[in-house]
Amino acid sequence: MRFVPLLRAALLSFALLFAATASAQGDARVDYKLGPGDVIRIQVFQQPDLTVEARVSENGVISFPLIGVIRVGGMSPTDVERLIARRLKDGNFLQNPQVTLNVTQFRSQQVSVLGNVGKPGRYPLETTGMRLSEVLSMAGGVTNTGADQVILMTMRDGRMQRMEIDLVEMFTVGDLSHDVPLVAGDVIYVDRAAQYYVYGQVQRPGMYPLDRGMTVAQAIAKGGGLTLRGTDKGVRVHRRFGSRTVQVLEPKLDDPIKPDDLVFVRESVF
């Protein structure tokens, strides 16, 4: 059952934050791989003259004092630290160099988050294996107007794939296998929440968010219920099939409502 919009959005945001925190503490996380555009800061303990801030070039290289050009593209920060330390030692520049590398700007591996989220935009994959929940959390979570389903456009196995992931089911069932790891270039899109329309003899005709499992009777109740002149006999539902065909149905009150249904409540003849 779907939550009231504001409560639902808050619970989804909490769940995303919890999953992101749990994932960040996992042991299976692989170190980030440096790439073109990343900005890094390298420091050598007690050697301030060897402090370097550099942008990784399109060829994946940087320049470092005493050593010269170093290819760092595709390497983890830890690997680069070891490489620089080894070259400083092998070149007889320092006996026991202690090198630290920090990524100050993640630019080479980013994903896009679009649609009904708190902060749409491009976000860096700060480590290899960052998951959907982590990036959605960085983007401010799903808004109260957002859908429960997230669409992920991703390049896998050499071809573009479209994945639809149900966030509510993922957390309520506890199946985090759908919390997929992302790769650079992925696009996440959160559509608006499904809606329906109710008009005719109801207190508050208009457009409303569609809750999971909502019935015709519940849809009418959400519109404030019947007016004094209204009747729940002979309710009509205008439902779209395909891109053009619209059918007028006579549902039972416990029949489910579907996205974009138009529920019409007739006036009583008595």
Are residues 146 and 136 in contact, defined by beta-carbon separation less than 8 angstroms? Answer: no
In a domain, 32, yes or no: no
3-state secondary structure of 64: strand
Please indicate, yes or no, whether residues 201 and 74 belong to a single structural domain of this protein.
no
Of 259, 270, 267, which Cα lies nearest the Cα of 209? 259
Question: What string of pLDDT tens digits covers the 270 residues of the chain?
Answer: 444 455 455 545 545 555 455 444 443 335 788 999 999 999 999 999 999 999 999 999 999 999 999 999 999 999 999 999 999 999 999 999 999 999 999 888 899 999 999 999 999 988 878 899 999 999 999 998 899 899 999 988 888 999 999 988 887 877 778 899 999 899 999 999 999 999 999 999 999 999 888 999 999 999 999 999 999 898 999 998 877 789 999 999 999 999 999 999 999 876
Task: Work out the number of other CB atoms within 10 angstroms of the CB of residue 98.
Answer: 12
Residue type, 56: V
Residues 160, 261 within the same domain: no
DSSP 31: P
Please tell me whether residues 132 and 170 are part of one structural domain.
yes
CATH of the domain at 185: 3.10.560.10
The H or E element that residue 226 is part of is: none
Pair (46, 174) in one structural domain: no
Q: Are both 121 and 182 inside the same structural domain?
A: yes
In a domain, 209, yes or no: yes
Task: Look at residue 98 and tell me if it is in a domain.
Answer: yes
Residue 180's domain comprises 5-26+109-192
Q: Is residue 31 part of a domain?
A: no
Number of residues assigned to the chain: 270
What is the reported pLDDT for 1? 41
- Please state, in angstroms and rounded to a whole number, the distance separating the CA atoms of residues 41 and 53: 4
Locate 7 and state its tokens: 């409560």
Mark whether 186 and 206 lie in a shared domain: no
Q: Is residue 34 part of a domain?
A: no
DSSP helix/strand/coil, 107: coil
Nearest CA to 145 among 188, 195, 187? Answer: 195
Specify the CATH number for the domain of residue 63. Answer: 3.30.1950.10
Through-space distance between the first and last CA atoms of the chain, rounded to whole angstroms: 37
Q: In terms of domains, do 232 and 159 share one?
A: no
Q: Are residues 11 and 139 in the same domain?
A: yes
Other C-beta atoms closer than 10 Å to the C-beta of 50 total 20
Domain contains 81: yes
Cα–Cα distance measured from residue 130 to residue 29, given in angstroms and rounded to the nearest whole number: 8
Q: How far is CA 199 from CA 4, 56, 263, in A?
A: 21, 60, 6
Alpha carbon of 28 to those of 110, 129, 140, 193: distances in Å? Answer: 20, 9, 25, 34
170 and 202 belong to one structural domain: no
Count of the separate structural domains present in the chain: 3
Domain boundary among 127, 160, 192: 192
Distance of alpha carbon 66 from alpha carbon 86, whole angstroms: 12
| Assigned domain for 270 exists | no
Clarify whether residues 22 and 113 are in a common domain: yes
No. of H helices and E strands in the chain? 5, 15
Is residue 186 a part of any domain in this protein? yes
The backbone torsions φ and ψ at residue 248, rounded to the nearest 5 degrees and listed phi first, read -100, 120
Which among 53, 88, 105 is the end of a domain?
A: 105
User: Based on the domain organization, do 121 and 187 belong to the same domain?
Assistant: yes
- Does pTM surpass 0.95? no
3-state secondary structure of 1: coil
How far apart are the C-alpha atoms of 98 and 80, rounded to whole Å? 12
Residue where one domain finishes, among candidates 192, 227, 242: 192
Distances (CA, A) of 229 to 196, 203, 245, 270: 22, 10, 31, 9
> Are both 17 and 143 inside the same structural domain?
yes
